[in-house]
Amino acid sequence: MHKGEAGPGCAKVDPIIVADNVRRSFGGVHAVDVDHLEVPRGAITALIGPNGAGKTTLFNLLTGFDKPDEGTWSYDGRDLAGVPAYKVSRMGLVRTFQLTKALGLLTVLDNMKLGATGQRGESFWGGLFPPLWRKQDKDIETRAMQILKKFKLDTKSSDFAASLSGGQRKLLEMARSLMTEPTLVMLDEPMAGVNPALTESLLDHILDLKDEGMTVLFVEHDMHMVRHIADWVVVMAEGKIVAEGDPYAVMKDPAVIDAYLGAHQDVDLGEVTGRIPVQGDGVAAPALSKAEIEAEAEAELAAEEAARKSKRRHDEEDAR
């Protein structure tokens, strides 16, 4: 997968993302300070690091949701610097959010349909001619239902997204991201807050994405999950890439253990997906408390407001 020795910023045989000198500070905090990063194509790469390491900020920069102070990056050989988020997703690079962004007052199916791009009814003239979009609308709905079925959400297609559990909303967000038939899927903490009963199917879905030829880059704190599904691990701390390698090598790296993993990193929690056999019994993570769920909902509202602001900014910039 990589050329030469594995280490921070090492070259990949076939990179899909190449980033150079990407920096973003907030006040005095260097949230992202990456000299060079390549993400291997067709593999599952985990981005790990302590809270505040800059993982989400890096995601925001790469996908056009935020702008760096400096730096260049390309996706599939195309320069992405300055390209706004909605155009990035049309190019085949989609991402999900650490806090889910499913629209609560739309049905599950409508959320899915919003994920489709290039709909004819969206343009002014196209919208005036129903025959043009009716057939396409039907096709989009068929595709949406197929994906929902895979994620076991098809029976909830006419429910409001707000009625789903946090974990189901995460699944919905991932399902929706697939409506665009992406090449690269970036998942920001897909497992956080997900009921243990759903984690196994989530892991399976992520492995499926790779089997279908997609590239996956995901942020995760659960080392158990990283070890089981990642082909490659990138470690961030204080905005910088501090280690890279295959999961086993990275998790044995004393610097990574010191900085992040702590003493119990080699305790394996057991079989997850059944695809990768391991020893020992599975141990479930605790479910979220009511207070945590409420806090999550509040944070979600704040994040939605921030996203609206960011979109307005991009729209204004586009208009100029």
45 binds ligand ATP, rule: CB under 6 A: no
Q: How far is the CB of 312 from ligand ATP (least distance, A)?
A: 16
| Residue 11 or 299 with smaller CB distance to Mg ion | 299
Q: Copy the structure tokens of residue 211.
A: 């089997």
CA pair distance 7, 56, nearest whole angstrom: 21
- Secondary structure class of 25 (helix, strand, coil): strand
Tokens 């302590």: give the residue.
50
| Residue 116 or 251 with smaller CB distance to ligand ATP | 251
Q: Copy the structure tokens of residue 313.
A: 């900014």
CA pair distance 166, 296, nearest whole angstrom: 9
| Residue 249 or 299 with smaller CB distance to ligand ATP | 299
Q: How far is the CB of 171 from ligand ATP (least distance, A)?
A: 20
Residue from 16, 34, 53, 93 touching ligand ATP (CB under 6 A): that is 53
CB 153 within 8 A of CB 168: yes
Q: Copy the structure tokens of residue 261.
A: 């993993």
310 binds ligand ATP, rule: CB under 6 A: no
Residue from 12, 31, 54, 56 touching Mg ion (CB under 5 A): that is 56
57 binds ligand ATP, rule: CB under 6 A: yes
Total binding residues for Mg ion by CB under 5 A? 3
| Residue 51 or 279 with smaller CB distance to Mg ion | 51
**Sheet holding 15-26: strands in order across?**
29-40, 15-26, 70-75, 78-79
| Residue of 203, 246, 299 lying closest to 10 (CA atoms) | 246
| Residue 22 or 116 with smaller CB distance to ligand ATP | 22
Total binding residues for ligand ATP by CB under 6 A? 12
Q: How far is the CB of 95 from ligand ATP (least distance, A)?
A: 13
Residue 199 touches which of ligand ATP, Mg ion, none (CB < 5 to 8 A by kind)? none
CA pair distance 239, 277, nearest whole angstrom: 35
CA distances from 265 to 50, 53, 262, 279 (A): 14, 19, 6, 15
| Residue 161 or 237 with smaller CB distance to ligand ATP | 237
Binding track, positions 238-257, relative to ligand ATP; x by CB under 6 A: --------------------
| Residue of 147, 146, 141 lying closest to 110 (CA atoms) | 141
Q: Which residues bind ligand ATP (CB under 6 A)?
A: 26, 29, 31, 49, 51-57, 98
Binding site for Mg ion (CB under 5 A): 55-56, 98
